[in-house]
Structure 1
Amino acid sequence: MGDELDDGLLLEGDVAYTDDATPSGNKRGHAEDVSESKKRKRREKRHKKSAVYHANVAAEKSITAQSAEMQADFLAAQFRKTFPKLSALEVQDTLVPASAVKETFTFDAPRTLEHMADYLAQSALPATTLADASKPWMKEHGAPCILVVSGNAQRAAGIARTLRALLPHEQAKKSDAPTVAKLFARHFKVDEHVALLQSHATPLAVGTPHRLQQLLDRGALQIAHTCAVVLDHSWTDAKSRTIFDTPETRDALIHLLGHSPLRDAFRRAQPCRLLLF
């Protein structure tokens, strides 16, 4: 009889409890699993965003090796980001035409600062452009032949130093010699730039979008004879952003390119050419 009562029964001493088997242990373990799962998903999301971002940066940088039509399409996409409320027809009126975009994929050196002078000499400047003193940009004040647009003032200063090598060496020490204009807000007021442009021949000019537009609006910067506008597209900041990646800089650049003096220059019979460095 006693054996029958024992069948199927568990006595208290026969059960071994563990922490994992308690209700509180189950809850704690479940919470830790959920927390780790959330962390893993956040890491995966960050990695995906980073991969997409760097892929986009690489694609944008590679646009310099594409055809004029593809570069014009790329620029059109930037215009639409800046002017999202404009109709397709209104945006079309402000775009840089493909006929004004110059292909530079034959330049096979790295697009770094030390190669920019060679890039301009090969892609933007006729052989005698800066050697002929009779050219308008060599004698008229504030009328550059080449205008380089950078998204960063410090970078623009570095470009200006590099481009001095393109100027005639025999005139370099003359006080009134043609010079490279540095046109950015850092350390310089607009009035100082106006005075510089009104008193010097500046066959080469480097600046940031907002300051360049200010000088165009003031009439100090003349582009009637400008042969090429070069966008410093290969440079990236500490966060790997190009001139088109920071909304404020991109918008200032697009407003500059769509500004009437430049917009008209890109549509001349002998158009000012747009180059992506």
Structure 2
Amino acid sequence: MTIFEQTLTVNNGNRISQLGLGTWEIADDKVAEAVRQAIKLGYRHIDTAQDYFNEAGVGEGIRTSGVVREELFVTTKLSAAHKDYDSACAAIEGSLAKLNIDYIDLMIIHAPQPWANFRNGEHYFEGNLEAWRALEDFYQAGKIKAIGVSNFEVVDLENILNNGKVKPAVNQVLCHIGNTPFELIDFCQQHDIVVEAYSPIAHGAIIGHPAIQAMAEKYGVSLPQLCIKYDMQLNTVVLPKTANPDHMASNAELDFTITDVDMETLKAIDSIDYGQASVFPVFSGK
């Protein structure tokens, strides 16, 4: 089995490749080629979002990849701005049109708050239920094969679990060495919600971290490879982003196992200085 064939099964029986390609910050006119290169290398899971403004390019890359649609898994995200049913439905229709790939494998609410109010204390419970109802309707219609959320905390998940008709398939969250939301991961896994890890290399801030670099050297791998493997061994889907085919290939060279002892050492690293990448989320303008 290759790394690209390694999958996790979500609660409706669909399978997701555990290693995917993230496309944040890849421009719409460049992303089609990045997607084609990734698929040529063996990637079968591509992640995009309405707020990345590159869905059309991702769709072009899928359609022109030379690989049949059914072999590919495509995720997009409903913009965090949509907290009412009608605007969410219109936005979902927009994603289907821009991607133009017949159906979406997974669509998720990008955040519980609109980006300008991210983590400001308001949880938008009713608005998220309205957005969730829109996703449920497209799911029931077969236009989306699985639905989920992103950046949701436990209280946000409980709102959907207690009031929605369909259980979220995934929760996509920031998760990397030095910033691993263990309690949230445990909650999700206890409720049969797959965790997806974005920014496994901490927006690049991990590069040069002495303890993590030393661990990578111990295994004879690169620091990014160690970081991606760490998330995979937490039983998460991992979504490193890159438009560089060399990096795509390197990120998939994961034929090693971190020992339990070393995993515990990595779990104990509890802080990473993001430096210039500390402004998060990038969409908020804060």
The TM-score, its normalising length taken from structure 1, stands at: 0.26
Hey, which of these two has a bigger chunk of strand by percent? 2
Structure that is richer in helix per residue = 1
Asked which structure has the greater RCO (Cα within 8 Å, sep 6+), the reply is: 1
